[in-house]
Each structure stands twice: as C-alpha cells, then as structure tokens.
Amino acid sequence: MLFNQLGLSAELLRAIEKQGYSEATPIQREAIPPILEGRDVLACAQTGTGKTAGFTLPLLQRLQQNKPARRFVRALILVPTRELAAQVSESVRNYGCHLPIRSLQIYGGVSIRPQISQLREGVDIVVATPGRLLDHVQQKTIDLSKVEVLVLDEADRMLDMGFIRDIRKIIELVPAKRQNLLFSATFSKEIRGLAANFLNAPAEIQVAANNTTADRVSQVVHPVDKGRKRELLSELIGKGNWRQVLVFTRTKHLANRLATQLSDDGLKAAAIHGNKSQGARTKALKDFKEGNVRILVATDIAARGLDIDRLPHVVNFELPHVSEDYVHRIGRTARAGLDGHAISLVCVDELKLLRDIENLLNRDIDKVIIPGYEPDPRIKAEPINKGRGQQRSNAHRPGAGKKKRSGAPKQRSGKRHRYSGGNTRTA
C-alpha cells in the first residue's frame, strides 16, 4: 500500500517523498488509520520496520487539522533514552517540515535553560525522557494540562519498574481524556496488563509474532571461554574485515575496558553508556555513523530505537539478563529491509541466559565453535552479578522482589556446561 492511500495530507506526502519513501510498511499500514480516527493503539512490530513514522505521521496530521489560536503542548512523546529522544525528534522535524508545528526534545545531560526558553516561546510537540520532563514540571516550566495525545515509544521499557513511577506521575498531569499510543518491539503479559490500566478500547496491532526478530537477521552463537572473548572478537572483526560493528556489554565498566582493548588491537573503537556525558555520547554515535570509528561498544542504552543506516554487524559480547533485550539489541541491524548479522559470544556462565533467549524466540540458535577457541570443559560456571540497574529492569516480572533463600544455588547435574539446542558445529 502506498502512503497516498492512507489519507495523509499533501504536506505530509511531500515530506515522505523527500525522505525517499513511497510504500508504507505493515506497521504503518495497520497503525495510521486507527490513529487518524482518534483511537488508542497498542502496537507491536519488529525493530527496523518503521514504527516511528507509524505514529509520527498521523500525530502530525491530527495536530494540523485542529490547530488552536495559541500554541501549547498538545502531544507528548515519552522515550527511555536521550539518543532515542533525539532520533524521534528528528523524525518529527523531517515529516513536519511543511507544517507550522513546533517540536522540542527534552532530556538530561545538557543545560535545562535552552529548553525553558523554547517552552516559553511555545511548542506543539514535546519528545522527552521522563526524568528531565519531571524536572520541568517541578520548576513549573511546562504545562501538560492540554495534552491531547500521549505516546510511549519503546513502551515495554517505559512501563517496567525503572520508569513506571515517573510514568504514573506524568499521567496524573495530562488530561484524562486523551489519545494513547503505545509502540514497541516486545510486550510481555505483565506489560500488557499495566498498559490496560490507561488504554481505552485500543486497537491492538501485531504485525509479527510477539518477541520475534527480523527475518533478514542471521543469528549465530560462538561458544568461547570468557577470558578469550576479546581475542576472538578482534579476530572475527579483523579477518572478516568488518567495517562497522555495534558491540553490546552488560556493564559500563566493561564497555570502557573493551573499547580501549580493541583500540590497542588496532581496531578504532569508542564506548557509549549512561556514565558518559551527553556530548561524549553524541560524538561517539556520530563518529560511528560517519565511519570515523569502526566499533561502537555500548550498554543497552543503544539497544532501544537507535537507527544506524546499513549497520551490518551486531555482536553480543555478553548476553543480556533480560531476554527481550536480545531482540532489541539485534534489531539494530537488518533495518529497512536490509540484511544483517547478529553474533553472540557465549561462555559457560551464560548458558541459562542463552536458553531463556531461545525459549523467548521459540527457536534454537546455531552454535558454531571457531577452531582454536574451543571452550575448556574444565571451567566451571560462575554466577553473573546482575547489578542494581538490571534488578530494576526485572522488577516487573512475576516473583520479582521476593526474598531469596540463602546458601549456594543448586546446580543442574549434567547440564551445566552443555551448549544445547541448534546445531553445534566447528567452523
């Protein structure tokens, strides 16, 4: 279906053409009509399928059709990370370039004063992270009492225990009568239950099976000992002549250390994570997109929403604690119909995490042992420290927060070191 068959205005169609698009993706075909009708929407689609345009285009049209005499915040788009706020804001500007609509991105890590100045001048759309938005609320520099449309992008992350308190505070500040749009690539049953509390007879849209990955992503696991992961990664990148690689770690400390080690190996790398200044994060991402940096080592702040053109390789240097985050991580590649490759370096400590991911995907991932990097069967599995941030991310799950029994954890006899599922083979 072409965009001009979806009832969009001439100004929006001109902007879409300027971006080089003509045919709508499945999520756009399914989401745009009910949003234009004013319905609440709960939408789930694979990463890289155009979800941002799926809510941005009809949102802009609704604001265009009912323009008030005075400018005020009429649409609020909430996102989990600064990088995603900047990216969604760019989409709003690009698609609204022929419309008299002002937008503003609000997030921390930068001075609040320019944001206050722009709010005083009047804006129609605010794209914000919850924390900085509530800073503005506390300082009485923003009025949310006339918001007509509330959007939660990466809604599963926005409704988990890391954000839910802030989200509830914000919901109390916007009008009860409003349109709600929730978009994500993954939705657990618990998140659907939370969403039901403030959605009104939503149109539920699911253009692919829940928690599935894009068909054009090839996935492989390389079993390897933890102490040899960096060596194997350097060899894969060097021998394969990979020119652009996004590498995920679980911790900020490891992201820094790995970026330094890869650079020492002659592979130019940069790290991006929550402890970096916003200027450093922006520069690292810009250098990576422009090819000035070959490898970007990131924590899961880069797993949500980042759109990197033609990114060919994503590497899980460490598997995530939360299985759904695997889907978001590898969704950074194979976007917009292109092919991509997702590689996971898995040590014996991570076998339970791997099984959880395969259970979520309802499929086995091929295991390929690289000659010279065969796992040592004598190495025993060690517990993985989840840390404060990960405990928060898991808090919405059944049983989260329950007190655990003391003492050593029980081990499953005979299964501790087995790379089960899929076809384990030597490359």
Same domain as 201, residue 225: no
Q: Which of 179, 206, 233 is the last residue of a domain?
A: 206
Q: Which of 164, 181, 206 is the last residue of a domain?
A: 206
What's the pLDDT score for residue 328?
83
Please give the Cα distance from 236 to 28 (Å, whole number). 37
Same domain as 269, residue 166: no
Same domain as 275, residue 167: no
The answer to which of 17-31, 108-122, 198-212, 342-356 has the lowest mean pLDDT is 198-212
In a domain, 9, yes or no: yes
The whole-number average pLDDT for the span 109-121 is 95
Same domain as 281, residue 201: no
Same domain as 17, residue 155: yes
Here the tokens at position 148 are 């007509």
Please give the Cα distance from 421 to 427 (Å, whole number). 17
Q: How many helices (H) and strands (E) does the chain have?
A: 15, 15
In a domain, 300, yes or no: yes
What's the pLDDT score for residue 334?
60
The answer to which of 20-24, 303-307, 398-402 has the lowest mean pLDDT is 398-402
What's the pLDDT score for residue 303?
67
Domain count, the chain: 2
Same domain as 149, residue 192: yes
pLDDT tens digit sequence for 294-317: 999 999 877 675 677 778 899 999
Dihedral over Cα of 76, 82, 87, 89: its sign: positive
What's the pLDDT score for residue 182?
93
- pLDDT above 60: residue 361: yes
The boundaries of the domain holding residue 340 are 217-385+406-426
- Buried-state track 283-300, b at ≥16 Cβ within 10 A, e below 16: bbbeebbeeebbbbbbbb
pLDDT tens digit sequence for 229-238: 999 999 999 9
**Res. 403 pLDDT band, cuts 50 70 90:** very low
Comparing CA positions, the residue from 172, 215, 167 lying closest to residue 191 is 167
Q: Residues 278, 212: contact at Cβ < 8 Å?
A: no
Helix, strand or coil, per DSSP, at residue 306: coil
Dihedral over Cα of 349, 355, 356, 361: its sign: positive
Same domain as 59, residue 165: yes
**DSSP codes of every residue in 135-196:** HHHHTT----TT--EEEEETHHHHTSTTTHHHHHHHHHHS-SS-EEEEEES---HHHHHHHH
Q: Residues 352, 379: contact at Cβ < 8 Å?
A: no
Dihedral over Cα of 74, 80, 83, 88: its sign: negative
Same domain as 202, residue 225: no
- We report the CATH number of the domain holding residue 144 as 3.40.50.300
Same domain as 237, residue 182: no
- Residues above pLDDT 90, as percent of the chain: 61
In a domain, 340, yes or no: yes
In a domain, 399, yes or no: no
Q: Which of 182, 206, 230 is the last residue of a domain?
A: 206
In a domain, 390, yes or no: no
Sheet holding 179-184, edge to edge: 103-106, 125-128, 75-78, 149-153, 179-184, 41-44, 203-206
Same domain as 227, residue 282: yes
**Res. 210 pLDDT band, cuts 50 70 90:** low
The model's pTM: 0.70
How many other β-carbons are positioned within 10 Å of the β-carbon of residue 162? 19
Please give the Cα distance from 308 to 306 (Å, whole number). 6
Comparing 34 with 285, the larger pLDDT belongs to: 34
The whole-number average pLDDT for the span 372-400 is 67
pLDDT tens digit sequence for 59-79: 999 999 988 889 999 999 999
**Res. 216 pLDDT band, cuts 50 70 90:** confident
Here the tokens at position 9 are 């205005």
Same domain as 172, residue 55: yes
What's the pLDDT score for residue 408?
40
- pLDDT above 70: residue 215: no
pLDDT, the chain, mean? 86
Angstrom CA distances, 369 to 211, 220, 229, 309, stand at 27, 10, 12, 30
The whole-number average pLDDT for the span 10-34 is 94
Q: Residues 41, 155: contact at Cβ < 8 Å?
A: no
Residue 304, Cβ density class (10 Å: 0-12 exposed, 13-18 middle, ≥19 buried): buried
Same domain as 275, residue 421: yes
In a domain, 400, yes or no: no
- pLDDT above 70: residue 409: no
In a domain, 392, yes or no: no
In a domain, 393, yes or no: no
